[in-house]
Amino acid sequence: MNFQPSARQRELVVLAGDLARTQFAPRAAMYDQQASFPFENYADLRQTGLLALCIPERYGGMGADFATYCLVSEEIARSCGATALTFNMHCSTMMWIGPLADELDMSPAERQAHESRRARVYQHVLENGHLYAQPFSEGHQNRSGRLIFQCQAQRTEGGFRISGKKIFASLADAAHYFGVLARLDDDDDDGDDASSIHYLAVEANAPGVSIEGDWNPLGMRGTVSRDLVMQDCFVPEHAQLLPEGIYQQAARRWPHMFLTLAPTYLGLTQAAYDFTVDYLSGRVAGGPPSSERIAPIKQYAVAEQLIRLEAARALLYRSISEAGLDPAPEALRRAFAANRTVMETATQVTADAIRTCGGRSMLKPLPLERYYRDARCGALMQPWTADNCLERIGSSVLPAPKGTMSP
């Protein structure tokens, strides 16, 4: 397996990294303090063309594939976790309807209709700089912790009528469209049947759409993930992001599509490690004297952080290299393991970094306390929460006997 990035991947990582270091990093504390969306960062992403990172080249985009996106996301997260996390929602939408959809089974009529619809989406991004959000959470789960979608869509002339609520809707104040998963209310199920799910683009300023609730969380404050409420909102036929039945095929056959949050948290972990090294090397203003910085216990602690960081990176990169259609069971288990490992490692390394650097390091405006708070959010991120990953690995290795239910 070759884990070395290509020349094109290196080019895009350098582009994103330079932008993030020079523009995003200086603003990150402000967005965190105000719990405000990084509009200025997205203006920079538009100007550099990075909003089109995952739009195929034949449409005028940069043509980044799954692995390339992951490398870019990791690089952005080293400077601003909230920007990287919200950028994931937008880029995932572009990938799902693009190269990922191309690998899935569709009838000729479905593929023709999808081609027309996604061309419209890409045009919105390329010509108008539109952002697409991807809210998942509704607060409903089945016994194993998997999501149950209760937003309802009803067929009507020219499209759908949709009603429901999504919580933690990142980009709530910034998105032009929300990619909403909803079930048809003429399907006789309780919301736990993936075959009833439709993936629709809800326009942010459409009648019946509102953004509600306060936003004052522990971490990832710049994501502005307020509640998205839809009341009998009309969604035109051409706003189907995937043809009927294709989302559930994608979730079943291309499950690595849900691994795209992990690179953000790997980037956060790298940032915490880098800060620790700089702080203990005397390169951060206000740091401790050299007599307190360089001691065997500090050296051991930094070594432990590096080992955890590189172990998480190796597992994630291998899983990224295995992403594709119909992965083997062991590859899917490895993806769950990689996602959970990255999230838990981010929490552990950021906490260890504070302990290693000492009390001064957790004071604002130093970024380490922000890294720690942002990292705490990773294990809760849907759809692959840390606990859900454990359940899926365990049930795959030791399935419950027939006629019984998993706890």
Contact by Cβ (8 Å): 219, 377:
yes
Which among 318, 316, 322, 311 has a CA at the least distance from the CA of 389? Answer: 316
Q: Which of 365, 341, 194 is nearest to 284 (CA)?
A: 365
Task: Tell me the whole-structure pTM to 2 decimals.
Answer: 0.94
Common-topology check for domains 152-244 and 254-397 = no
Q: What is the CATH number of domain 7-131?
A: 1.10.540.10
Which of 3.40.1390.10, 2.40.128.640, 1.20.140.10, 3.40.50.620 would CATH assign to domain 254-397? 1.20.140.10
pLDDT level of residue 46 (50, 70, 90 thresholds): very high
Query: How distant is the alpha carbon of residue 304 from its chain centre?
Result: 27
Task: Give the pLDDT confidence of 257-309 residue by residue, as tens digits.
Answer: 999 999 999 999 999 999 999 999 999 987 777 766 778 899 999 999 999 99
The secondary structure element, H or E, covering residue 180 is: strand 177-184
Within 8 A by CB and 6+ apart from 183, the residues are 149, 150, 151, 152, 153, 189, 191, 193, 196, 197, 198
Residue 369: closest CA among 29, 22, 86: 29
Sequence ranges of the domains in the chain:
7-131, 152-244, 254-397
Residue 209 near residue 72 (C-beta atoms within 8 A)? no
pLDDT, tens digit, 9 for 90 and up, residues 105-143: 999 999 999 999 999 999 999 999 999 999 988 876 544
- pLDDT category of residue 149 using cuts at 50, 70 and 90: confident
Fold for the domain defined by 152-244: Butyryl-CoA Dehydrogenase, subunit A; domain 2 (2.40.110)
Residue with more model confidence, 359 or 44: 44
**Tokens representing 43?**
């203006």
